[in-house]
Chain A
């Protein structure tokens, strides 16, 4: 958090972002922004955050040179930023620890969160348990059915899980329901959003907490290679691990950014979650951004084999980076992600999350086109233990 941010300006990234929320939330959002601006300069807060990130979450995570994979592909050197090694098995903890500390300092003892696959719910439950806060997580019943283990993990960690039965019964409606709860219990409740989405200041706060990924990566890479990487690759659902990776490099013009969205079955089939790749501008969940919607503005349901990318919107800063052409957004299909999932498992002995496998799938293609003296860093946002059942089903194999 040492770099002064150019964006957002008045809550906007170019024209994207903003605060499109019911009036009743404005006071809470303003209070949050003021508290955050003050606390991010507070030495005790910075010290606490640093302490929990290293002692509790296990940071820094390593930057691993994927030698076998690199040799197999025969192009650019591939490095992996190992967020799968962070506590809980994903980058999510970077944000939940930060925001839970914020909630605590703001005197809010009840924390609510939404979750799709359950990773953010689990990370919220962990951070709240560690800091003595009460966690309640909203989750669509469709996702609860698909992710039974994570539901149980959250309960083990002391969180209350609220089944969401409205709308699509998945992440989008879990967010709607969390917002409705927040509107009702605003006086004692902190809403801990899991990605760089929602009304300002959330996209900024989550970006700042996730920037630990890019900041570490930059230092680690300089030590190993004595230069900056040629390309950074990360998957994009809401886009928090990607922004966390890109943001510290935004002024490094030689470093290319690639954000990889889920093409699901295929873009053509309509069964995908590529908001930037195939969506249009809209106002959704408090922000102006790229959204998957029909021609009159109804938000559409999405599809991806990876629940963490299965969201019809995207962080407003990504919409901005796309528009100014600072980042390029590409896609990977379910099949391509599964292939990359298997390749990394076999070549490196690392089982990546299906979300991260989308980034890998693109990186493998991209590395082939690059020369051997070039370098590419993939943010491995999480580990894939949670996905083995889904992958087994997809490959139509029995685990036994």
Chain B
């Protein structure tokens, strides 16, 4: 059982949902990311998801696009992201997942990338533009270096594909809540709840399920967990706080900590 899966198992025993918090590394500046990570973890984030900024993030809405641009402008490179992740690792036990588009990995080379992850005790990777069809060498290399490969399932994924995606995933399965790109949304759609209930019988007993995209309020998180999901992923809502308080770091960190706390508080009891 990987470290990520252990966290899910422990929380399950306590009847708690897992909170997975995302930020883009290097936004607004590389040296601030470790402080943001501290705030997220203090607030109650169970798994930290760190994004490598990419110039053309096609699966992301305006919030994370802007964060990526800020991070690139501040000089953040993929290797620097891994260095920052290793700093965070030295301070916290919380599992760390790297989110990146495929090109930075391709450019670095699969072996090089995964060996760096292994060396820095980073636990998993999510690649939003790498479907299972293109993933053979990626999965094999990840396995050699004991890094979890977290694949995505979506409302348009057929049952046949879903079974394969589950088979190829480790750590957890990332379920995209609805059609569209990342970004905060005012309401959670009924279809998301139906989707979770449809997927759950396939994942239960095989791999933990976490739901992301558009989840920006404690009541959304609560509904996701009450619908049976074992985890909830929140990204753009945290990135928005970073964006809003770029000039006032204390305010930024306080708000992040507090928001993480509210989210975690809402998912502490799984029915």
Interface residues of A (CB under 8 A from B): 11, 18-24, 26-28, 166-167, 172-173, 176, 179-180, 183-187, 281-286, 288, 291, 293, 295-299
Asked if B271 is at the interface (CB within 8 A of a chain A CB), the reply is: no
Q: Is B103 a contact partner of A284 (Cβ separation < 8 A)? A: yes
Q: Is B180 a contact partner of A179 (Cβ separation < 8 A)? A: no
Q: Which of A180, A286, A291, A298 is close to B181, meaning CB atoms less than 8 Å apart?
A: A180
Distance between Cα atoms of A183 and B58 in the complex (Å): 9
Q: Is B106 a contact partner of A22 (Cβ separation < 8 A)? A: no
| Chain A residue, CB-CB nearest to B66 | A166
Sample 12 A-B pairs with CB under 8 A, ordered by A number.
A20-B130, A22-B58, A22-B154, A26-B131, A26-B161, A176-B57, A184-B181, A291-B103, A296-B107, A298-B54, A298-B72, A299-B56
Q: Is A185 a contact partner of B56 (Cβ separation < 8 A)? A: no
Chain B residues near A11 (CB-CB < 8 A): 133
Q: Is B179 a contact partner of A180 (Cβ separation < 8 A)? A: no
Q: Is A282 a contact partner of B107 (Cβ separation < 8 A)? A: yes
Beyond A27-B157, A167-B69, A286-B129, 13 additional contacts (C-beta under 8 Å) are A11-B133, A20-B102, A20-B130, A21-B129, A22-B58, A23-B152, A167-B65, A172-B56, A176-B57, A179-B58, A183-B59, A183-B180, A281-B106
Distance between Cα atoms of A185 and B128 in the complex (Å): 18
Q: Shortest beta-carbon distance, A167 to chain B, in Å?
A: 7
Chain A residues near B130 (CB-CB < 8 A): 20
- Contacts A20-B130, A298-B72; is A166 near B65 (CB within 8 Å)? yes
Q: Shortest beta-carbon distance, A20 to chain B, in Å?
A: 5
Q: Shortest beta-carbon distance, A217 to chain B, in Å?
A: 35
- Contacts A22-B152, A167-B69, A186-B179; is A297 near B78 (CB within 8 Å)? yes
Q: Is A23 a contact partner of B179 (Cβ separation < 8 A)? A: no
Q: Which of B57, B108, B151 is close to A297, meaning CB atoms less than 8 Å apart?
A: B108
Q: Is A23 a contact partner of B153 (Cβ separation < 8 A)? A: yes
Q: Please count the residue pairs between chain A and chain B whose beta carbons lie under 8 angstroms apart in the complex.
A: 112
Q: Shortest beta-carbon distance, A204 to chain B, in Å?
A: 16
Task: Give the secondary structure class of A's interface.
Answer: mixed
Chain B residues near A19 (CB-CB < 8 A): 131, 133-134
Distance between Cα atoms of A295 and B176 in the complex (Å): 31
Q: Which of B57, B107, B151, B180 is close to A184, meaning CB atoms less than 8 Å apart?
A: B180
Chain B residues near A282 (CB-CB < 8 A): 103, 106-107
Distance between Cα atoms of A282 and B176 in the complex (Å): 26
Q: Is B156 a contact partner of A176 (Cβ separation < 8 A)? A: no
Q: Mark B50-92, 1 if CB is under 8 A from A, else 0.
A: 0000111111011001000100100001110000000000000
Q: Is A293 a contact partner of B56 (Cβ separation < 8 A)? A: no
Distance between Cα atoms of A291 and B102 in the complex (Å): 14
| Chain B residue, CB-CB nearest to A21 | B129
Distance between Cα atoms of A298 and B54 in the complex (Å): 6
Distance between Cα atoms of A187 and B156 in the complex (Å): 9
Chain B residues near A299 (CB-CB < 8 A): 55-56, 103
Distance between Cα atoms of A166 and B69 in the complex (Å): 10
Distance between Cα atoms of A210 and B129 in the complex (Å): 28
| Chain A residue, CB-CB nearest to B157 | A23
Chain A residues near B153 (CB-CB < 8 A): 23
Chain B residues near A173 (CB-CB < 8 A): 56
Distance between Cα atoms of A185 and B107 in the complex (Å): 31
Q: Is B58 a contact partner of A296 (Cβ separation < 8 A)? A: no
Q: Shortest beta-carbon distance, A311 to chain B, in Å?
A: 12
Asked if B104 is at the interface (CB within 8 A of a chain A CB), the reply is: yes
Q: Which of B69, B77, B176 is close to A296, meaning CB atoms less than 8 Å apart?
A: B77
Asked if B155 is at the interface (CB within 8 A of a chain A CB), the reply is: yes
- Contacts A19-B133, A19-B134, A293-B107; is A187 near B179 (CB within 8 Å)? yes
Q: Shortest beta-carbon distance, B182 to chain A, in Å?
A: 10
Q: Is A167 a contact partner of B55 (Cβ separation < 8 A)? A: yes
Q: Shortest beta-carbon distance, A316 to chain B, in Å?
A: 13
Q: Shortest beta-carbon distance, A112 to chain B, in Å?
A: 14
Distance between Cα atoms of A282 and B107 in the complex (Å): 7
Distance between Cα atoms of A188 and B21 in the complex (Å): 33
Q: Is A295 a contact partner of B156 (Cβ separation < 8 A)? A: no
Distance between Cα atoms of A166 and B65 in the complex (Å): 8
Distance between Cα atoms of A293 and B130 in the complex (Å): 19
Distance between Cα atoms of A348 and B176 in the complex (Å): 58
Distance between Cα atoms of A19 and B135 in the complex (Å): 11
Which 8 residue pairs are nearest across A and B when measured between Cβ atoms? A297-B107, A24-B154, A27-B156, A184-B180, A298-B55, A297-B104, A297-B103, A299-B55
Q: Is A296 a contact partner of B79 (Cβ separation < 8 A)? A: yes
Q: Shortest beta-carbon distance, A182 to chain B, in Å?
A: 10
Q: Shortest beta-carbon distance, A18 to chain B, in Å?
A: 5
Q: Is B103 a contact partner of A293 (Cβ separation < 8 A)? A: yes
Distance between Cα atoms of A166 and B56 in the complex (Å): 10
Q: Is B61 a contact partner of A22 (Cβ separation < 8 A)? A: no
Q: Is B103 a contact partner of A27 (Cβ separation < 8 A)? A: no
Q: Is B156 a contact partner of A24 (Cβ separation < 8 A)? A: yes
| Chain B residue, CB-CB nearest to A184 | B180
| Chain B residue, CB-CB nearest to A282 | B103
Q: Shortest beta-carbon distance, B156 to chain A, in Å?
A: 4
Q: Mark B127-153, 1 if CB is under 8 A from A, else 0.
A: 011110110000000000000000111
Chain A residues near B72 (CB-CB < 8 A): 298
Q: Name, among B58, B102, B134, the residue most crowded by chain A CB atoms within 10 Å (CB to CB).
A: B58
Q: Is B129 a contact partner of A296 (Cβ separation < 8 A)? A: no
Distance between Cα atoms of A288 and B130 in the complex (Å): 11
Q: Is A180 a contact partner of B61 (Cβ separation < 8 A)? A: yes
Distance between Cα atoms of A184 and B152 in the complex (Å): 16
Q: Is B102 a contact partner of A283 (Cβ separation < 8 A)? A: yes
Q: Is A176 a contact partner of B107 (Cβ separation < 8 A)? A: no
Q: Shortest beta-carbon distance, B78 to chain A, in Å?
A: 5
- Contacts A28-B156, A176-B58, A180-B181; is A23 near B107 (CB within 8 Å)? no
- Contacts A166-B62, A166-B65, A283-B106; is A20 near B134 (CB within 8 Å)? yes
Distance between Cα atoms of A299 and B155 in the complex (Å): 30
Chain B residues near A184 (CB-CB < 8 A): 179-181
Chain B residues near A22 (CB-CB < 8 A): 58-59, 128-129, 131, 152, 154
